[in-house]
Amino acid sequence: MDDKINEQFRDKVTFISGSSKNAGKTTFLNYLLPRLREGGNFAFLTIGIDGERKDHIWGTDKPQIETLVGDYLLTSEYLMNKSDALFEVLQVFPWKTVLGKLLFLKTRRSGFIELAGPENNEQLGQIIEYIRTDCRIESMLIDGAVNRVTQIASIKNSKFYYVSSLQPSNYKSSLNKLRVIWELSRQERVDSMIEGEGVYCHRGAFTKKNMIGLDDSCRSVILDDFTKVFLEYSELQKFLESRKMSFINTIKLVAFVFILYDIDKNNVLEDLNEMAINCPFIFNPYELSEGGIYDKAIL
Amino acid sequence: MTKRFYEFSEIDKFLCYYSPKSPYGRNEKEEEAFYCETDKLNGIFDRIEQMISFVERYPQKADKIEYHLMRLPELNPNIADGNIRSELFNVKKFLHNYKQISHEFEIDFYSEELLKSLGHEDSQEESFYLKDDYSADLSRVRKQLREINSQLNKSKEKRVGEIHEATDLDFRFLNFLIIKENEIPPNSDSFIFLEQHDKSSVMVKPIFGKEFFLIHNLRKELLESEAGIESEILQMLKKQIIVEQEKLNTYIQTIIDLDTSMAKARLAIQFHCIRPRVTLLENLEFEDLEFIPLKEKSTRAKRIYTSLSVSFNEKNNVVTGSNMGGKTILLKTIAFSQLLVQQGFFVPARKISAPLFDSLNLIGMVNEDSNSGLSSFGEEILNLLETGKVGTRLYLVDEFARTTNSREAFALNCALLQWFAEQETVFSVTSTHLDQLPNFKCLSYWTMKGLDYEKYRLYYHRDKNRDLNERINLINNYMDYSVKPLVKSEVQKDALKIADILGLDSEIIKNAEKYLKNEEYNHGE
């Protein structure tokens, strides 16, 4: 088993976020899981319920997670009952979701399961706290729907992978989205929201309207976290030309994961280079490399 | 008890320290119970006393009990089939933790059999799992499933190996791969299934063969059989719980009493609270009663805090005194204390005797914006109209009609005091600036002691530059916040001195003193 992969995930809360619904996050999760099992206990969960059942990779119903004996996971009672695996119930959380209460489970017999998760930051925080303190599990993989990415910021020392499906119809807009994420992930962290000379603190969403409304004397803006920024790349670029942006909570971007459809990898690399996006990339993790040998060293 | 009275008392700033550990205790806290019967309250106070003694004598046991209280889940009285496993888990976890509490607190526990049925015997854990040995049928079908799974895994492993050997494609970690169209291995039709991925690549999936799918289908049948057997067992367990429902309800009530008593005991220990003496229709008496929200604020601001000591000798009482002399705080302290008593708490005092009231009423302002469109005076009249009409009532009146003209204010206050005097079951404490209010039966007059003139004379120097905080501290240093019976000839008038300390222009102070002298002359003082 790949020690490098294990080291990246061990004792960390890793989110798999994505550019859109059905970008391939759950499939990427399935790709990672077998590589992690030998490294010790870990838990996998999802944030909320996506609501759409198709996935771009499969083109069919949303892929389920294969859970093996000894795996720990979070899902709803309804989905647990639908599963062909067998589970020991370790915890029942008191909140009700549309699919019933959330249960933390240990797998007693392998099978397939669909995940369901908490509906807000507070619940997610309590779940992670429970997993850490009661179950003494520090390594967690969290499959996050794109409209729930705000929740990543609530968990300290978390990091994320960003999965993006690139095709000719969305190529330009997807790259711009990536540029925004890349820029935002590099802004500095500050300890508190304290206004001062030229320093303005803003709670909640930061939009173009907020940007335009800033006083000329404002040189720096402090926000909660990067997920509160709702600017196009050109707007963000304009902002950063004359001002600074800082965050109370920062989240480490580990890598971009690209699922390519009719797009040449080399073209993407060229464009990323031009944009000076300098972080690890993973292309088509399910793709066979040249030698016909599955290249585990991609990560 | 009105919401306004509650807000006026600032009791929330104290009750934030009251923390029951179980969901039942927390629900009880949210309900803000209000008691009017001495027997009921004395029962609660007895439990708190016992708990204080227990906590002080056995701190480790107390900690352990609180640990288990925190782990108790809230049980659903109705177990629907869709959530049967989660509810069985909750019952097991509840019983497991209740058993530990009963052991530490030496109370009875009657549900060993049910706990055993829920699988507690072997593991002594909170988790819930339908073990194989629940029934012979379950054991048999699960054994078959394990064998089938093993067969499937071996078959899959073997096939994945064959595919890898024939095509170089490795399906050990994924059920599909993406490869370039021009890299499709030759002669691979019997090994892999192809689907278009994009213009230049295909998705390949392994073909497992007929045998694999036959075993897979058999597995499906066994899973259905297992689900049926499990459902029967779960229904049987559910019936057992329904039979034990009364016992569970008893346990829940025990938890509520234990949890709230322990949390109140902790609060009493932390703030040196005592058991109040509750009465019917006797007068209010306090010795060193502390208004904790103000005490904490004073400590933070490094100001002196004075507790309240007074034995009201009538059921209706009027308190006068200088501005910033503590009249409103006196009323807040009484409100705070009365609410604590009637919500079943011990009180931070050296001694307290409190009658019980059916309603607690405030005529005065709280820190809220008025949305009614009424003036302050209008609000006060509305408050009066909204007060309780029957039973024993306490009224706290904070400078009634202060915003209207002085003649009508005087008349209204006299009339209100007369009305209080005529009601047998009404108690009141009224703060006012007004002088020369008449005497009525069952009414006594008190005064805040006010500025200590000696200290003021010796230590106050007007010319020093001081910020607002320093000025307030000065007032605090010179002010005596204790209360005494009023001797009419000793009425203190400190408003000008207070204004002076706060920094009002000396010209205005001088002119005000002139007007005051003229007024006193005209009234023959």
Domain containing A292 — which CATH number?
Answer: 3.40.50.300
Closest CA to A212 of A243, A178, A176, A179: A243
Q: How far apart are CA B202 and CA B177, in angstroms?
A: 8
Residues of A with CB under 8 A from a CB of B: 30-31, 34-35, 57-59, 77-78, 80-81, 84, 86-90, 92, 94, 100-101, 103, 106, 108-110, 167, 260-262, 284, 286-288, 292-294
Per-residue pLDDT of B387-429, as tens digits, reads 777 889 999 999 887 777 778 888 888 988 999 999 889 999 9
Please say whether the beta carbons of B361 and B5 come within 8 A: yes
Per-residue pLDDT of B250-299, as tens digits, reads 999 999 999 999 999 999 999 999 999 999 888 899 999 999 999 999 99
The mean pLDDT value for B169-194 works out to: 87
- Indicate whether B63 pLDDT > 70: yes
Q: Number of folded domains in chain A?
A: 2
The ipTM of this complex is 0.82
Q: How far apart are CA A138 and CA B326, in angstroms?
A: 55
Of A90, A101, A288, the CB nearest to B83: A101
- Residue A139 and residue A25 in one domain: yes
Mean pLDDT over each residue of chain A, to the nearest integer = 82
Q: How far apart are CA A269 and CA A289, in angstroms?
A: 16
Q: What are phi and psi of A155, to 5 degrees?
A: -105, 120
Kindly report the length of chain A. 299
The mean pLDDT value for A278-288 works out to: 78
- Residue A135 and residue A211 in one domain: no
Residues 6 or more apart whose Cβ sits within 8 Å of residue B140: none
Rounded to the nearest angstrom, the minimum Cα separation between B233 and chain A is 15
Query: Could you tell me the CA-to-CA distances from B103 to B98, B114, B119, B276 in Å, in that order?
Result: 9, 17, 20, 31
Quick check: B129 contacting A, CB < 8 Å? yes
- Residue A194 and residue A165 in one domain: no
Query: Could you tell me the CA-to-CA distances from A112 to A29, B65, B132, B473 in Å, in that order?
Result: 13, 40, 21, 69
Quick check: B146 contacting A, CB < 8 Å? yes
Per-residue pLDDT of B323-364, as tens digits, reads 777 899 999 999 999 999 999 999 999 999 999 999 999 998
- Residue A264 and residue A173 in one domain: yes
Find, in chain A, the residue whose alpha carbon is nearest to that of B80.
Answer: A100
- Residue A165 and residue A207 in one domain: no
- Indicate whether A295 pLDDT > 50: no
Quick check: B169 contacting A, CB < 8 Å? yes
Q: How far apart are CA A287 and CA B505, in angstroms?
A: 84
- Residue A111 and residue A227 in one domain: no
Q: Which residues of B fall within a CB distance of 8 Å from A92? A: 73, 86, 89-90, 93
Quick check: B94 contacting A, CB < 8 Å? no
Q: Name the helix (H) or strand (E) containing B330.
A: helix B327-342
Q: How far apart are CA B398 and CA B109, in angstroms?
A: 53
Per-residue pLDDT of A175-198, as tens digits, reads 988 899 999 988 988 888 888 889
Closest CA to B306 of B520, B481, B462, B45: B481
Q: How far apart are CA B166 and CA A107, in angstroms?
A: 34
Give pLDDT, residue B505: 80
For the domain spanning B275-489, the CATH number is: 3.40.50.300
Asked if B127 lies within 8 A of A287 by C-beta distance, the reply is: no
Give pLDDT, residue B260: 98
Of A94, A103, A284, the CB nearest to B74: A94
Q: Which residues of B fall within a CB distance of 8 Å from A116? A: none
Q: Which residues of A fall within a CB distance of 8 Å from B156? A: none
- Residue A17 and residue A138 in one domain: yes
pTM, two decimal places: 0.84
Asked if A77 lies within 8 A of B149 by C-beta distance, the reply is: no
Give pLDDT, residue A51: 45
How far apart, in Å, do the first and last CA atoms of chain B sit?
Answer: 44
Instruction: Pull the structure tokens for residue B122.
Output: 């072997």
Asked if A261 lies within 8 A of B198 by C-beta distance, the reply is: yes
> How big is chain B by its Cα radius of gyration, in Å?
37
- Residue A154 and residue A52 in one domain: yes
Q: How far apart are CA A251 and CA A32, in angstroms?
A: 20
Query: Which of A81, A134, A260, A262 to mutate against chain B (most B CBs within 10 Å)?
Result: A81
Residues 6 or more apart whose Cβ sits within 8 Å of residue B427: B283, B284, B315, B316, B355, B357, B392, B393, B394, B395
- Residue A66 and residue A117 in one domain: yes
- Residue A139 and residue A202 in one domain: no
Per-residue pLDDT of B201-242, as tens digits, reads 898 999 998 888 899 999 999 999 999 999 999 999 999 999
CB pairs under 8 A between A and B: 82
Identify the top-confidence range among A236-250, B11-25, B451-465.
B11-25
- Residue A266 and residue A240 in one domain: no
**Site of tokens 């988790």:** B127
Instruction: Pull the structure tokens for residue B174.
Output: 């994924």
Per-residue pLDDT of A118-142, as tens digits, reads 888 788 889 999 999 999 998 898 8
A240: domain range? 189-247
In chain B, where the domains are located? 19-111+244-269, 134-213, 275-489, 493-525
Question: Coil, helix or strand for B372?
Answer: coil
Give pLDDT, residue B524: 60
Per-residue pLDDT of A16-49, as tens digits, reads 888 776 677 877 887 778 777 777 788 998 885 5
Rounded to the nearest angstrom, the minimum Cα separation between A17 and chain B is 20
Which sign, positive or negative, has the C-alpha torsion A74, A78, A79, A82? Answer: positive
Amino acid at position B164, single letter: H
- Indicate whether A236 pLDDT > 80: yes
